[in-house]
Amino acid sequence: MKKTNANIDFPTETIQEGKAKILVPKLKAFTKQPSDYAPSKAPVFYNPVMELNRDIAVLALQAYQRIVDREISVCEPLTGCGIRGIRFATEVKGIKKVMINDISDKAAQLARINVQRNKLDERVTVKNKDANLLLAHYSAPHKRFDAIDIDPFGSPTPYIDSAIRALRNNGLLALTATDMAPLCGVHPKACIRKYGGKPLRTEYCHELAIRLLTGCLAMIAAKHDIGIHVIFSHSANHYIRVYATINYGAKKADESIGKMGYILHCFKCFHRKTANELFKTDQHRCSECGSKMNFAGPLWLGKLADQQFCKTMKSEAKRKALKTGEKTVKILNLISEEADAPPTYYVLDKICDRMALPVPSTEKIIRALKERGFKATATHFNPKGIRTGADASVLTSIVKEFFEKVK
């Protein structure tokens, strides 16, 4: 066993997050100017802003454990100071063991100290390996994990294949991506390289980002004759998260591939369309205004959350007194509402900007759409966003009429 009380030769402080008390680098000591991004300047990674991300991860894991209704094993192969894995072990009921790992010696050392401080030596193991090497070691039957949480710098794609192989049938995979510039179309070539799909700089690019990551996951899983079921996903600050369970079987993989396709977008009139096909390259013309449509994909066209799973997460959120509780429940409500709505959303700012109109309240326009018999919901992606089955032209005329009425 490695010594845990070896010297930590950098400034630290103890913080509490959820039920865990964690020794973390004292971030203020590592910034020279206000623009410095402290978490990556510190010798071990720790980002307090990700508390909401970790709170939601705790809720999702607890909801998953309740659904499978047995003791589960979890792996967090890119753990930093250990905060996420330690929170799983302290806050989620029904956890048999957690394995946390980091390639950095200093991170693994700090994680070991944190495991001891939280009295978790019996249930939490700390490793100090490359994540893919570690996961490969657990990729044989009976060795696999019930849940794996990949929370890297940038893109999770280098770890997806190993994670799929180290996950048991019906296991839960959680992925964070923070490389929003490629995923949102600022660096399209990088997105194609990493995710195998073309991004598009639209007002709903964060949703496209989730669909590109999920599409990439579906294609990697399919290689192993494994299908995926997305039970939750969200976008916040500078990252996206996807939670999916995996199902063994070539048929399941085929079903997942059946949910791949393209999203076509008309930059002239805001019209969108989905094309549920993988290998067709027809040029599409906008059915509303006749312009040539641009596209994003291949990407995931299936659902981005499961309403029942959201409900279970919500009841867990009410049980656990999380610091981000109120905000988290708000996000869960919105995601649950939009779970069954069609892909893409309209953004009122964008529409009103084109028509030189002020931006009306989202709720009022949603109400007007519903009065016309259209399904319409808000979205957690954007406070001015609306998901609806109505075409862009219908929405545009509803917005116009709204201002004519209030004149």
- Interaction site with ligand SAM (CB under 6 A): 45-46, 50, 54, 77-80, 83-84, 101-104, 107, 130-131, 151-153
Question: Minimum Å distance from CB 196 to ligand SAM?
Answer: 21
Q: Which listed option, Zn ion, ligand SAM, none, makes contact with residue 151 (CB within 5 to 8 Å by class)?
A: ligand SAM
Question: Minimum Å distance from CB 286 to Zn ion?
Answer: 3
Distances (CA, A) of 271 to 26, 48, 52, 252, 386: 49, 39, 34, 32, 14
How many Cα neighbours within 13 Å face the side chain of 278? 12
Q: Which listed option, ligand SAM, Zn ion, none, makes contact with residue 302 (CB within 5 to 8 Å by class)?
A: none
* Residues lying near Zn ion in the complex (CB under 5 A): 266, 268-269, 271, 286, 288-289, 291
Q: Which listed option, ligand SAM, Zn ion, none, makes contact with residue 130 (CB within 5 to 8 Å by class)?
A: ligand SAM
**How far is it, in rounded angstroms, from Cα 118 to Cα 116?**
5
Question: Minimum Å distance from CB 107 to ligand SAM?
Answer: 5
**Nearer Cβ to Zn ion, position 206 or 272?**
272
Distances (CA, A) of 229 to 259, 303, 396: 11, 8, 34
Q: Which listed option, ligand SAM, Zn ion, none, makes contact with residue 8 (CB within 5 to 8 Å by class)?
A: none
Q: Which listed option, ligand SAM, Zn ion, none, makes contact with residue 398 (CB within 5 to 8 Å by class)?
A: none
**Nearer Cβ to ligand SAM, position 17 or 316?**
17
Question: Minimum Å distance from CB 392 to Zn ion?
Answer: 7
**Nearer Cβ to ligand SAM, position 172 or 369?**
172
Burial of residue 189, with CB atoms counted within 10 A of its CB: 0-12 exposed, 13-18 middle, 19 or more buried:
exposed
**Nearer Cβ to ligand SAM, position 162 or 245?**
162
Does 298 sit behind a cis peptide bond, omega within 30 degrees of 0 on the bond before it?
A: yes
**Taking the C-alpha atoms of 195, 198, 199 and 202 in order, what is their torsion angle to the nearest 10 degrees?**
-160
**Nearer Cβ to ligand SAM, position 81 or 266?**
81
Of 186, 334, 210, the C-alpha closest to 263 is 210
Orientation angle between helical segments 51-68 and 83-91, nearest 10 degrees: 40
**Nearer Cβ to ligand SAM, position 176 or 377?**
176
Of 64, 120, 115, the C-alpha closest to 94 is 64
149 CB contacts (<8 Å, ≥6 apart)? Answer: 57, 61, 74, 75, 76, 84, 85, 88, 174
Question: Minimum Å distance from CB 270 to Zn ion?
Answer: 7
Question: Minimum Å distance from CB 102 to ligand SAM?
Answer: 5
